[in-house]
Structure 1
């Protein structure tokens, strides 16, 4: 074999490997694009729902007023703030006065906003009787509902108390996460929920659509399977 033939053979081999690399890289990139475009549902900090999703609905959840409530009850409101909260979490307790203040300013019969608080915890401190007492002590003017099945919290992917979900006029999720950026309320620089409401009122895009919820873990019941016997 001549030197020229050897070089030609090497060139063919190099060309073959080069083509293989291009095909491999293209395949990998194609796979990457496929993975990105087929992302599972869920937001950045929520594994179940995303911004723009139609909000999960509910009906016949009992409130501390001993009445049954549904999301449809507030169909006349421009916006709905769903808050998963409880009695026992210090973070939730710290936010209660801010929830009451927001209800006073933007809620009520004449306001555009409906606030609905929901508790799904099953521990003694969060039982229905304790919820009634807390609502009375704090003078809640918004519904405070109890879902013993915990189904509605799971449908929203709620992980913390408190955790907020702001619904727009079409009842799509416009914002979800923390109420503001300081759970203690001492140095609040971003009022995420109020800023989102203001954007919706002005017909503008919500600038911050999602933040990580800060609080205590929702106390979901653990399903226990019996031990199998042979």
Structure 2
């Protein structure tokens, strides 16, 4: 996300869920605070490791970040992917009594993020700032939505066969992308669904031959949404 000026940057940031409802002046004051930084990562760079102490809330500006854990066999499993500008990560951990991450976050290519120190949320003086209550309400809404989406993913992963998982995944991701094609590497999709990549590829090709979906490189598009919905519903 390239900004031609500070005004462009503020206008874009005001559309982010965390900053919704803040005035331009309040947002500018917050971003100039010493607890806020813009940080950049390259492909494979780790934002935090499992076991690290949670110290920051991150807000994505550009690129993508995977939240991962490793299986007992050492295979990476993607718990979530943050790939929409304005999407946040790390917020839940800031308010848990358990003071360590149980997953790790890694950049998928070049990524830029706003990094907000935990100090801002724990400093009693922050509460007197005019925008503090709005930020906290926004953060509460974000954390609640993430909890809901996590529950949806658990339902998806426990939904049965691979075909049903693919159907549910494709429909939900397309809706989250605003109707745009779902773009994800096969390896990442396999990690997300917790299946072997060859099995995933074979099933995708079979579903394409049956006219259920369209595979175009890294992009997936639904073709027969009604049939996919029936699959996702277990019919």
Compute the TM-score of the two structures, normalised by the length of structure 1. 0.28
**Between Structure 1 and Structure 2, whose CA radius of gyration is higher?**
1
Compute the TM-score of the two structures, normalised by the length of structure 2. 0.28
Identify the structure with the greater strand proportion: 2
